[in-house]
Amino acid sequence: MSTTKKMAGAALAAALGVSTLAACSGSEETAKDTGSSASSKAVSKTVTVVSHDSFTPSDAVLKEFEKQSGFTVRKLKSGDAGAALNQEILTKGSPRGDVFFGVDNTLLSRALDNGIFTPYEAKGLDQVKEEFRLDPLHRVTPVDTGDVCVNYDKKYFADKKLAPPQTLDDLVKPEYKNLLVAENAATSSPGLGFLLATVGKYGEEGWKDYWSKLKANGVEIVDGWEQAYNQRFSGSGGGKKAKGDRPLVVSYASSPPVEVLYADPQPKTAPTGVSTGTCFRQVEFAGLLEGAKNPTGGKALLDFMIGLQFQEDLPLNMFVNPVTGNAKLPEVFTQHGEVIAKPETVAPEAIAKNREQWVKAWSSIVVK
């Protein structure tokens, strides 16, 4: 899920010619640097987070955790979310860390079915909105959420005196022919999210017919978000430089605030908008790994991740939304973002059961 979203935020910033956000606190390693020579005393004072490559909370917030808890955070990054999860399944019972961060609702059932987590009900879980608590056994803790949505180029539609599409149904109308660029569902997280939005909306009986109509209406499919958003989409900073000519793109509800945040000078209004009836809701989780060497530190970190400081750190550093009701969004998000009231969802167990066949069927319809 969020791997692409957070990389998208960083890529968007780079496309606008600015530096990315501050580096994280604590030590950071790739999956190749396991640091297995640490003493038992050092291990007891270190809590290791295994994650995808886009686990990027701010330096300040992790330092605050270390100050409060007495534990030092060590980050072990392991590629994208799917690759990171695969490594933990392979090392089940002898994990490389204490906490795993980065499994989302598209991968959740796979993680739970493989039994890689120890149940733990984090302190403060009552502050997390009930809609995000997808595991009643508390094997994972909800940490952040976001929405895959179609974004549109405001200037294009204003110049054409054409109302931008707002729903999935709109996208197959003749007036929007040859305007949308989307990512490959087999190779891209937002591409898969958009496919799942259509499954959620039209059901098993209708989503294939929808994609046949969308293909007939000229949807362009590219491999990933970077190409779609920063090359083909006419509304983004990167797309303008690349002379992109598609005014509709599958991206995120958080993309317009990020366009404002990294523009110099910052515009009064976002240059892009969100088609709010096209969205799929993603939720990202963390969990205490079965066999963790430092379960006490792992539990403390899970508690902290749903605390107010960490939750309010998320939007500007990881380009996602908090899951707790008491966390406030930064002004740039409240002014330029969209609250998606009724996103499409698909049950994690249904995704686990059908994901491969859905993607295969999608490919046979769209990429042939």
Q: Grade residue 304 by pLDDT with cuts at 50, 70 and 90.
A: very high
Contact between residue 225 and residue 4 where contact means Cβ atoms under 8 Å apart: yes
Among 1-5, 175-179, 256-260, whose mean pLDDT is lowest? 1-5
Give the tens place of pLDDT for each residue, 151-203: 999 999 999 999 999 999 999 999 999 999 999 998 888 999 999 999 999 99
Q: Grade residue 6 by pLDDT with cuts at 50, 70 and 90.
A: low
Task: Give the integer Cα–Cα distance in Å for 301 and 49.
Answer: 9
Give the tens place of pLDDT for each residue, 305-328: 999 999 999 999 988 999 999 999
Task: Give the integer Cα–Cα distance in Å for 196 and 104.
Answer: 13
Task: Give the integer Cα–Cα distance in Å for 176 and 163.
Answer: 10
| Cα end-to-end span (Å), the chain | 26
Single-letter code of the amino acid located at 45: K
- To the nearest 10°, report the CA torsion of 77, 7, 196, 165: 170
User: Which distant-in-sequence residues (6+ apart) come within 8 Å of 305 by Cβ?
Assistant: 101, 122, 141, 143, 286, 311
- Alpha-carbon distances of 324 from 92, 134, 271, 279, 312, rounded to whole Å: 30, 14, 29, 21, 9
Task: Give the integer Cα–Cα distance in Å for 335 and 337.
Answer: 6
Q: What is the pTM of this model?
A: 0.83
Question: Nearest to residue 341, comparing CAs of 152, 170, 167?
Answer: 167
Give the tens place of pLDDT for each residue, 73-83: 999 988 778 78
Question: Nearest to residue 105, comparing CAs of 346, 266, 367?
Answer: 346
Task: Give the integer Cα–Cα distance in Å for 43 and 41.
Answer: 5
Instruction: Give the pairing type, strands 141-153 and 272-289.
Output: antiparallel
> Looking at per-residue confidence, does 364 or 3 come out higher?
364
Q: How many CA atoms lie within 13 A of 100 on its CB side?
A: 36
pLDDT at 138: 98
